[in-house]
């Protein structure tokens, strides 16, 4: 075990006493304090007392368990559940079967069924790349990146209902209240850029996903590890802009006065690390007001890049901007970025219960260019090697129709497809199969837990070791039973 | 802790796409003749597919070892896996056929391999060799329930320790001080100097009321040199109605109080606020803790059931509720587990919940004890089944008496008529809209949150704007009618059971609800050598009486844990940390008490004082220990950096609620007059609402007057927390929270400097100061004395006036705005946010 991992404090709620002696000796003025705080890494520089209960910046960068393949993750979350047999899981035998009734057991929002009317895949498939994988016409641009992509075509999840299934994809549990994947990554590795949040979520302009903030909560871990929602337009982070558009220099003056009061207060309370940390955090917040907008300022990007991400086209502009923001954030050391394709309810996301063609054309159309652009851009900049891309929703969709009429498909957690690319993943590969209809995974079946284990593993964290003590138990993202990463797809 | 889920049947399309079987089915009969059948046929399949998890590597799954004959015959946690009498019904075969467990989990074996297993069992399980991993982890033995473990400090019977005798004891003010002083003296340390009067009054106001003292209250206390000055303050605070608002908040953290259900709809729990009010009132009345506990666990099973005792059982309805669980049986046991976890940790300080799937790995709590404990709750009806009506059926009860109803008969009838009228109009209107619904929309429409959006979608097609507006008005009226009902129709969210017939409870193998094991009976935790539960069915016959039996045992003075846990919490909430720091874990993994005798003394005092909290709190805040200052003593710090011995008082940050309430209090706008009632809605900025799938859904508008009420009255929605409270570590409501985090993050600084909320408070503060007239210097002085609750120094005042002057001169700022900026600083001061 690596000693740099956060201690799983035996205190309840992980509370520790954070005590350290302020190392500056004599008292100091607000101005001196401000200049000292302005040095990068101020929090890291604090010396700890060797007393077993040192003050520790909870987001201090930590060494992984073993050398990491990926430094950052970008999780492209296809909210609602894209249909695998219409995208990446090619089912040639279904062609010509449209409308026929088959015996097939399904379980979705409409409950358990034993037979159904086949809705054959609505898009044509073609082979792409050197690997010759089949991809549907929904993703003409993304398909050109296929040699960098690794598919898991035998995914399974515990629930075919959005609420619990999304919680499982994001936090490993179907019950709400557990920390999300991005929280675990930041808990395990800390942040290498204290001026930006370590876990960022970007939402679809049509709305958040159901259950809202539960999908990026730190659950039973402290709020330090929860995601920060970042916006592509307007103020990127909540509360980032000073109130009432103050004149240049004004906020600094106000802050200096505040820090002078606070410094004096601290001076009479030597040894109170919380007070010192709070003073430092004002300076961090102040800096963040400049660094965060800069990090997501797309005006610094070339026209060519904007086009690469599809930002020049109205339908893909929004997701394209978010993908480009993700690249810029990852460049600056942000550990975990999650972007939602789809928001709100029904056809505002991939939840194609009614008109499958309308729905998937819309959402694939919005994301195809941006995702291809992201992969190509990262590759060209040499960043794809240590940036792990994950694509998928909370489940897939059924091979049969949900209703008597129409092409809408109900949810399917018995079998679906996800793909990964970049950081430590072997491109142009795949593992697992579903049956001929894509109704269920049959060979080399994997569970959401295996995806989580794979992500942690590639980030250099042992999924079966990374734990947080809560509720009488060493809690793990992957649960108490040992879970293996999907080795076959790793480079 | 969710048990491994498994599906009963795995499904394949069969008619159209039959797999063409590989035709080389081996000649089993011939092979069977051969002794080498095992080695040539069985072993390769086992090695390839089974050994890794079942004996071939250090970690064994499901307790099943297949790497030796002995292991196969022994079976695993689910019992025997082979039945040599009737081999074809063996669990092993069911598992590989994917009829029960799906083994191996990565995918079903080819039919020929399954045939090999069948033959192997028919042959009577020939086995050669032992392939068990040498590193096979010997399963960590769960601690046993035995005499030695029964002597663990928290399981031992409670006995009242003697107060340590001390020689020179000027410092002592109360018996509890003896315990603190004795330990310090033993270590050669001294208690810190007494806190100043201004520090102490601030501390005690926050600890008892969660609010700051006003400058005049501080002045009066500082000037009162009578020996009873401290007592006078404490007695006043304990009589204040705002005491309950502070202490109820602690309790609500423990019972993970929230007013919505989480998951997709995150629907609002009906009448849940009455439980919050019940808790506030109970603290204010100084209700004995044993009664408080009993009402919550079994208020409906008492000899005398009152509206209050029914409301108290809302305790069972505060958790998450998945209204469309993928596996309803699993959901039932997840819900019960939530109750076992909360009850065990809150009342007993034990993580009984860790014994759901197997014996507790750390504490002597066998799995059977978990299910025996669960059986007290087994008969409880699930919160609801999907729709709101089912929630009302399973979890809501009217609480008014017959007399009350009779007295309001006319009013009730009028109300019912209005409801019927509103309903008729809505139905008539919805006819055309519903005709236009997709099948899925009919289902969606059953949920509150979807009603208006689904109708709005049809403006311009089925309906016009005017009709839509009419609909919105009818909906408003419907909600109003629901909210404001004649008091005789008052209802409570409460527990209900399936009747009086005792249900059966089985141990669930590995926590799997589909694999019941042995039946268990209601019983208390065996490590505590408890009595037999005395269950008697209540007269009303609507429940089993089991919960009352549990409550009686929990509040039995012989129970060693209940009083210790409660006394520890009282100490914790006054001294910043418990005598046992892991306030809800008194088991082997918890942190041991720093002052075990003191803890037992307090527990004994609590029981002897009739379980009343206030007398104990009064003594504690008047003790010399509580009067200690928080200043550093370098030598003590070197020897005891964690302050285990309490050589000083622990400085603390205000909680999220204290911080918000204090901002409103110091700027003169806190509405403390209005207490109780339905929760209020703060203004949540659009950026935060944007995280919801329907921005704004489930969050209402409250009047300005209501928005200025104390934080405990803010609606607690699981998926949407007021961002200011969330930033300052308000408790997460999905799990019981015994100790809050205290994080320090840049987002807090951003919220305090830039948020609408704090800037608005600064504005009100400035306005309030100006309204009193006076000079800038006077404004600064008043502002500082309100936030710091002491007289500011002339330097501090000077710094403020300098800033205001500079802002006016250099930035051409109006006086009002300059003062507002200063007020913003005042609300950001560390001294405002931290107690010495």
Q: Which of A49, A253, A285 sits opposite B806 (nearest CB)?
A: A253
Is residue A430 situated within a structural domain? Answer: yes
Q: A19 vs B806: CB contact, 8 Å cut-off?
A: no
Q: Could you write out the three-class secondary structure of B585-598?
A: CCCCCCCCCCCHHH
- Is any Cβ of chain B less than 8 angstroms from the Cβ of A102? yes
Residue of chain A with shortest Cα separation from B11: A105
Q: Which pLDDT tens digit goes with each residue over B698-725? A: 999 999 999 999 999 999 999 999 999 9
Contacts of A399 in chain B (CB under 8 A): 13
Give the residue on A whose Cα is nearest the Cα of B5: A158
Nearest residue in chain A measured CA to CA from B835: A275
Measured between alpha carbons, how far is B414 from B392 in angstroms, rounded to an integer?
Answer: 22
Chain A residue closest in CA terms to B688: A238
Query: What CA dihedral angle connects A113, A114, A116 and A119, to 10 degrees?
Result: 80
Alpha carbons B728 and A285: distance in angstroms, whole number: 15
pLDDT at position B3: 43
**Phi/psi of residue B626, each to 5°?**
-75, -20
Q: Which helix (H) or strand (E) holds A339?
A: strand A336-341
Exposed, middle or buried: residue B561 (CB in 10 Å: 0-12, 13-18, 19+)? buried
What phi-psi label fits residue A190: left (phi over 0), alpha (psi between -120 and 50 degrees) or beta? Answer: left
Backbone φ and ψ for A215, nearest 5 degrees, come out as: -80, -10
Interchain CB contact of A161 with B (< 8 Å): yes
β-bridge pairing A101-108 and A396-401 = unpaired
Is-contact B359 B142, C-beta < 8 A? Answer: yes
Task: Please count the other Cβ atoms lying within 10 Å of the Cβ belonging to residue B328.
Answer: 12
Interface contact B107-A177, CB threshold 8 A: no
Q: What is the DSSP string of A166-193?
A: HHHHHHS-SSS-S--HHHHHHHHH--S-
Give the tens place of pLDDT for each residue, A268-323. 887 777 888 899 899 999 999 999 999 999 999 999 999 999 999 999 999 999 99
Lowest-confidence pick of A4-18, B388-402, B625-639: A4-18
Model pLDDT, residue B100: 77
Output the pLDDT for position B8: 36
Residue-wise pLDDT for B178-195, tens only, equals 999 999 999 999 999 999
CB contact under 8 A, B830 and A275: yes
Q: What is the mean pLDDT of residues A179-194?
A: 93
pLDDT of res. A62? 87
The whole-number average pLDDT for the span A44-72 is: 68
Q: What's the mean pLDDT when you consider all of chain A?
A: 88
B91, B100 contact by CB (below 8 A):
yes
Closest to B629 (Cα-Cα) out of A268, A16, A276: A268
- Measured in residues, chain B has a length of 836
Q: pLDDT by residue (tens digit) across A232-279?
A: 888 899 999 999 889 999 999 999 999 999 999 998 887 777 888 899
pLDDT of residue B29: 53
Could you tell me which residues come within 8 angstroms of residue B173 by beta carbon, excluding any fewer than 6 positions away?
B622, B623, B624, B627
Q: Measured between alpha carbons, how far is B491 from B310 in angstroms, rounded to an integer?
A: 10
Compute the C-alpha angle A358/A448/A150, nearest 5°: 70
Taking CB atoms within 8 Å and a gap of at least 24, the contacts of B180-184 are: B180/B595, B180/B598, B180/B624, B180/B625, B180/B645, B180/B646, B181/B624, B183/B594, B183/B595, B183/B645, B183/B646, B184/B645, B184/B646, B184/B647
Q: Please state the ipTM of this predicted complex.
A: 0.87
Closest approach of B110 to chain A, Cα-based (Å): 10
Query: What are the chain B neighbours of A228 within 8 Å (beta carbons)?
Result: 747
Is the predicted pLDDT of residue B417 greater than 70, yes or no? yes
User: Taking Cα atoms as reference points, which of B680, B658, B650 lies closest to residue B729?
Assistant: B658
- Read off φ and ψ for residue A27, nearest 5 degrees: -65, 165
Q: Are A467 and A457 in contact (CB under 8 A)?
A: no
* Number of residues that this document lists for chain A: 491
Beta strand residue intervals within A32-148, DSSP E: 72-78, 101-108, 111-117, 125-128, 133-136
Instruction: State the burial class of residue B613 (Cβ atoms within 10 Å of its Cβ: 0-12, 13-18, 19+).
Output: buried
Q: Which residues of A296-328 are buried (b: 16+ CB within 10 A; e: fewer)?
A: beeeebeeebbebbbbeeeebbbbbbbbbbbbb
Interface check for A211 against chain B (CB to CB < 8 A): the answer is: yes
Structure tokens belonging to residue B760: 């608005």
Residue A225: is the preceding peptide bond cis (ω within 30°)? no
Tell me which chain A residue has its CA closest to the CA of residue B587: A472
CB nearest B641 (choices: A51, A231, A269): A51
Structure tokens at A365: 């159309």
- Distance separating alpha carbons of residues B677 and B274, to the nearest angstrom: 7
CB contact under 8 A, B691 and A203: yes
User: Closest residue of B to A345, CA-based?
Assistant: B693
Return the ∠ at Cα A397 (arms to A396 and A401), rounded to 5°: 180
How many Å lie between the alpha carbon of B126 and the closest alpha carbon of chain A? 29
Cβ separation B17–A93 shorter than 8 A: yes
Long-range pairs for B359-363 at CB < 8 Å and ≥24 separation?
Answer: B359/B142, B360/B142, B360/B143, B360/B587, B361/B140, B361/B142, B362/A472, B362/B143, B362/B587, B362/B588, B362/B589, B363/A472, B363/B143, B363/B527, B363/B587, B363/B588, B363/B589
Whether residue A157 lies within 8 A of chain B, CB to CB, comes out as: no
Arithmetic mean of pLDDT, A374-393: 98
The string of pLDDT tens digits covering residues B344-367 is 999 999 999 999 999 998 999 999
| Pairs of residues, one from chain A and one from chain B, whose beta carbons lie less than 8 Å apart | 346
Q: Which residues of A touch B737 (CB under 8 A)?
A: 13
Per-residue model confidence (pLDDT) at position B184? 95
Q: Are strands A416-422 and A387-392 parallel, antiparallel or unpaired?
A: antiparallel
Q: Extract the runs of DSSP E, i.e. beta strands, from A40-84.
A: 72-78
> pLDDT-derived band of residue B14, with 50, 70 and 90 as boundaries?
very low
Q: Cβ distance B300 to B310 under 8 Å?
A: yes
Cross-chain Cβ contact A278/B741 below 8 Å: no
Choose from A472, A478, A488 for mutation: most chain B CBs within 10 A.
Answer: A472
The whole-angstrom distance between B467's CA and the closest CA on chain A is: 24
Q: What is the mean pLDDT of residues A434-448?
A: 97
pLDDT score of B9: 36
Q: Is A426 on the interface with B (CB under 8 A)?
A: no
pLDDT value of position B99: 85
Question: Any idea of the CA torsion for B403, B407, B413, B418, to the nearest 10 degrees?
Answer: -110
pLDDT interval class at B78 (50, 70, 90): confident
B685 neighbourhood in chain A, CB within 8 Å: 238
- CA-nearest residue to B53 within chain A is A482
Q: What is the domain range of residue A422? A: 72-131+142-232+296-489
Please give the Cα distance from A176 to B319 (Å, whole number). Answer: 10
Q: Could you tell me where the DSSP H helices lie in A268-355? A: 273-295, 303-308, 314-331
Of B631, B720, B811, which is closest to A247 when you measure between CB atoms?
Answer: B811
Establish if A98 touches chain B: CB-CB under 8 angstroms.
no
pLDDT at A45: 44
Q: Mean pLDDT, to the nearest integer, of B91-119?
A: 89
Give the mean pLDDT of chain B.
92
- How far apart CA A252 and CA A258 sit, in angstroms, is 10
Residue B694 scores a pLDDT above 70? yes
Contact yes or no for B77/B64 (Cβ under 8 A): yes
Closest to B55 (Cα-Cα) out of B38, B41, B40, B69: B69
Domain range list for chain B: 1-139, 175-239+560-650, 288-393+496-554, 400-489, 754-835
Report the gap between the CA of B583 and the closest CA in chain A (Å). Answer: 7
Q: Does residue A463 lie in a domain region?
A: yes
Interface membership of A54 toward B (CB under 8 Å): no
Confirm if A173 and A435 have CB atoms less than 8 A apart.
no
DSSP B486-519: -GGG-EEE---BS-SSPPPEEEEGGG-TTSEEEE
Contact B320 A175 (CB under 8 A): yes
Residue A50 counted as domain residue: no
Number of folded domains that form chain A: 1
Instruction: Quote the CA–CA distance of B228 and B695 in Å, as a whole number.
Output: 55
* CA nearest neighbour of B619 among B563, B578, B580, B571: B571
Q: Say yes or no for a CB contact (<8 Å) between A253 and B320.
A: no
Residue A214: list chain B partners with CB under 8 A.
262, 718-719
Q: Is the alpha carbon torsion for A113, A117, A123, A125 positive or negative?
A: positive
Note the pTM of the prediction, 2 decimals. 0.89
Residue showing tokens 């079976």: B75
A129 burial (CB, 10 Å; 0-12 / 13-18 / 19+) is middle
Which carries the bigger pLDDT value, residue B633 or residue A139? A139
Partner B contacted by A124 (CB < 8 A)? no
Both structure tokens of B321? 């509720």
Q: How many CA atoms lie within 13 A of B693 on its CB side?
A: 27
- Amino acid B132: pLDDT: 86
Partners of A336 in beta bridges: A73, A199
How confident is the model over B745-752, as a mean pLDDT? Answer: 94
User: CATH no. for residue A336?
Assistant: 3.40.720
CB atoms inside a 10 Å sphere around CB B285: 12
DSSP 8-state class, residue B525: -
What residues in A contact B336, CB-CB < 8 Å?
Answer: none
B323 CA: distance to closest CA in chain A (Å): 10
Distance from CA of B176 to the nearest CA of A (A): 24
Average pLDDT over residues A89-97: 96
């Amino acid at each position: 075990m690596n000693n740099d991992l956060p201690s799983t404090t035996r205190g309840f709620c992980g509370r520790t006493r954070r005590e350290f002696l302020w190392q500056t000796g004599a008292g100091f003025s607000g101005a001196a304090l401000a200049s000292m705080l302005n040095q990068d890494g101020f929090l890291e520089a604090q010396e700890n007392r060797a007393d077993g209960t040192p003050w520790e910046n909870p987001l201090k960068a930590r060494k992984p368990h073993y050398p990491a393949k990926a430094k950052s993750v970008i999780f492209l979350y296809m909210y609602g559940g894209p249909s695998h047999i219409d995208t990446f899981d090619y089912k040639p035998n279904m062609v010509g079967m449209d409308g026929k009734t088959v015996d097939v057991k399904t379980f979705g929002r409409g409950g358990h069924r034993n037979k159904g009317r086949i809705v054959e895949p609505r898009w044509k498939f073609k082979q792409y790349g050197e690997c010759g994988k089949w991809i549907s016409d929904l993703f003409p641009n993304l398909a050109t990146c296929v040699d960098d992509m690794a598919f898991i075509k035998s995914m399974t999840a515990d629930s075919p209902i959005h609420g619990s299934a999304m919680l499982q994809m994001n936090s490993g549990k179907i019950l709400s209240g557990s920390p999300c994947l991005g929280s675990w990554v930041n808990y395990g590795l800390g942040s290498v850029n204290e001026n930006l949040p370590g876990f960022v979520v970007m939402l679809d302009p049509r709305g958040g996903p159901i259950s809202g903030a539960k999908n990026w909560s730190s659950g039973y871990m402290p709020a330090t590890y929860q995601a920060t929602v970042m916006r592509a337009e307007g103020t990127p982070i909540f509360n980032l802009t000073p109130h009432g558009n103050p004149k240049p220099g004004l906020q600094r003056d106000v802050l200096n006065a505040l820090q002078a009061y606070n410094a004096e207060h601290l001076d009479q309370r030597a040894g109170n690390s919380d007070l010192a940390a709070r003073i430092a955090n004002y300076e961090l917040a102040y800096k963040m007001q400049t660094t965060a907008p800069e990090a997501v300022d797309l005006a610094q990007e070339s026209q060519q890049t904007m086009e690469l991400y599809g930002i020049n086209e109205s339908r893909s502009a929004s997701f394209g901007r978010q993908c480009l923001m993700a690249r810029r954030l990852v460049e600056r050391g942000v550990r975990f970025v999650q972007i939602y394709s789809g928001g709100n309810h029904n056809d505002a996301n991939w939840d194609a219960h009614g008109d499958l063609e309308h729905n998937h054309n819309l959402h694939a159309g919005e994301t195809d260019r941006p995702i291809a652009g992201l992969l190509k851009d990262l590759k060209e900049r040499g960043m794809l090697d240590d940036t792990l891309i994950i694509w998928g929703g909370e489940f897939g969709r059924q091979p049969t129709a949900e209703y008597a009429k129409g092409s809408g498909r109900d949810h399917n957690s018995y079998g679906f497809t996800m793909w990964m690319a970049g950081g430590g993943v072997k491109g142009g590969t795949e593992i697992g199969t579903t049956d001929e209809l894509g109704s269920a995974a049959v060979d080399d079946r994997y569970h959401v837990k295996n995806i989580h284990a794979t992500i942690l593993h590639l980030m250099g964290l042992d999924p079966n070791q990374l734990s947080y003590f809560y509720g009488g138990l060493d809690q793990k993202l992957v649960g108490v039973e040992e879970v293996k990463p999907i080795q076959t797809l790793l480079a | 802790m969710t048990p491994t889920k498994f599906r009963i049947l795995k499904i394949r399309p069969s008619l159209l796409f039959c797999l063409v079987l590989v035709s080389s089915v081996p000649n089993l009969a011939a092979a069977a003749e051969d002794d080498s059948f095992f080695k040539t046929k069985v072993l390769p399949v086992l090695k390839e597919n089974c050994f890794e998890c079942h004996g071939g590597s250090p970690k064994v799954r499901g307790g099943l070892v297949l790497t030796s004959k002995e292991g196969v015959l022994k079976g695993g946690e689910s019992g025997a896996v082979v039945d040599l009498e009737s081999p074809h019904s063996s669990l092993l075969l069911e598992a590989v056929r994917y009829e029960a467990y799906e083994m191996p989990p990565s995918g079903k074996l080819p039919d020929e391999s399954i045939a090999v297993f069948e033959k192997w069992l028919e042959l009577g399980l020939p086995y050669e060799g032992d392939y068990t991993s040498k590193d096979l982890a010997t399963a960590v033995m769960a601690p046993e329930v035995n005499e030695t473990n029964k002597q663990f400090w928290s399981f031992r019977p409670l006995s009242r320790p003697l107060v340590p005798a001390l020689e020179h004891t000027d410092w002592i003010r109360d018996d509890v001080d003896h315990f603190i002083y004795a330990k310090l003296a033993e270590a050669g340390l001294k208690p810190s100097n007494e806190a100043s009067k201004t520090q102490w009054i601030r501390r005690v106001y926050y600890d008892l009321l969660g609010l700051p003292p006003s400058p005049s209250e501080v002045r009066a206390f500082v000037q009162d040199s009578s020996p009873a000055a401290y007592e006078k303050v404490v007695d006043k605070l304990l009589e204040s109605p705002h005491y309950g608002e502070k202490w109820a908040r602690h309790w609500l953290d423990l019972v993970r109080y929230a007013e919505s259900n989480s998951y997709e709809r995150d629907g609002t729990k009906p009448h849940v606020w009455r439980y919050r009010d019940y808790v506030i009132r109970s603290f204010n009345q100084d209700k004995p803790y044993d009664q408080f506990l009993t009402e919550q666990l079994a208020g409906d099973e008492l000899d005398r059931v009152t509206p209050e005792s029914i409301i108290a059982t809302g305790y069972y309805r505060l958790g998450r509720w998945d209204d469309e669980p993928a596996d309803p049986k699993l959901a039932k046991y997840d819900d019960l587990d939530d109750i076992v976890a909360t009850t065990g940790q809150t009342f007993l300080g034990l993580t009984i919940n860790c014994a759901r799937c197997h014996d507790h790995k750390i504490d002597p709590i066998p799995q059977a004890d978990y299910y025996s404990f669960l059986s007290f709750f087994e008969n409880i009806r699930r919160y609801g089944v999907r729709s709101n009506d089912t929630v009302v059926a399973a979890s809501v009860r009217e609480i008014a008496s017959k007399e009350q109803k009779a007295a309001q008969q006319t009013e009730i009838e009028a109300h019912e008529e209005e409801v019927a009228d509103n309903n008729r109009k809505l139905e008539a209107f919805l006819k055309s809209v519903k005709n236009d619904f997709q099948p899925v929309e009919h289902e969606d429409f059953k949920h509150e949150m979807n009603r208006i959006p689904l109708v709005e979608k049809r403006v311009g097609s089925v309906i016009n704007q005017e009709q839509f507006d009419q609909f919105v008005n009818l909906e408003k009226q419907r909600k109003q009618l629901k909210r404001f009902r004649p008091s005789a129709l008052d209802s409570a969210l409460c527990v209900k059971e399936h009747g009086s017939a005792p249900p059966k409870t089985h141990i669930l193998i590995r926590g799997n609800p589909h694999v019941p094991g042995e039946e268990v009976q209601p019983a208390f935790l065996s490590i505590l050598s408890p009595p037999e539960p005395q269950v008697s069915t209540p007269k009303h016959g609507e429940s089993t009486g089991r919960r009352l039996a549990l409550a009686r045992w929990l509040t039995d003075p012989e129970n060693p844990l209940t009083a210790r846990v409660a006394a520890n919490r009282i100490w914790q909430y006054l001294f910043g940390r418990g005598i046992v720091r892991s306030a809800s874990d008194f088991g082997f993994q918890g942190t041991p008490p720093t002052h075990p005798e003191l803890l037992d003394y307090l527990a004994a005092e609590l029981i002897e004082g009739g379980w009343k909290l206030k007398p104990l709190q009064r003594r504690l805040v008047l003790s010399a220990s509580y009067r200690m200052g928080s200043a550093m003593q370098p030598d003590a710090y070197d020897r005891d950096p964690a302050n285990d011995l309490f050589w000083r008082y622990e400085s603390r940050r205000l909680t999220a609620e204290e911080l918000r309430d204090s901002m409103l209090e110091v700027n003169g706008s806190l509405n403390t007059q209005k207490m109780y009632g339905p929760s209020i809605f703060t203004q949540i900025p659009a950026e935060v609402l944007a995280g919801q799938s329907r921005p704004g859904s489930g969050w209402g508008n409250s009047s300005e007057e209501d928005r200025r009420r104390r934080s405990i009255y803010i609606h607690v929605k699981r998926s949407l927390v007021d961002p200011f409270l969330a930033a300052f570590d308000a408790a997460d409501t999905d799990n019981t929270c015994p100790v809050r985090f205290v994080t320090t993050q840049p987002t807090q600084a951003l919220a305090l400097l830039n948020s609408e909320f704090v800037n608005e408070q600064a504005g009100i503060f400035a306005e309030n100061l100006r309204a009193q007239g006076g000079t800038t210097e006077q404004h600064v002085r008043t502002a500082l004395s309100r936030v710091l609750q002491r007289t500011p120094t002339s330097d501090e005042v000077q710094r403020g006036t300098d800033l205001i002057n500079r802002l006016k001169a250099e930035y051409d700022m109006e006086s009002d705005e300059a003062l507002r900026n200063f007020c913003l600083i005042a609300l950001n001061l560390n001294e405002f946010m931290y107690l010495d």
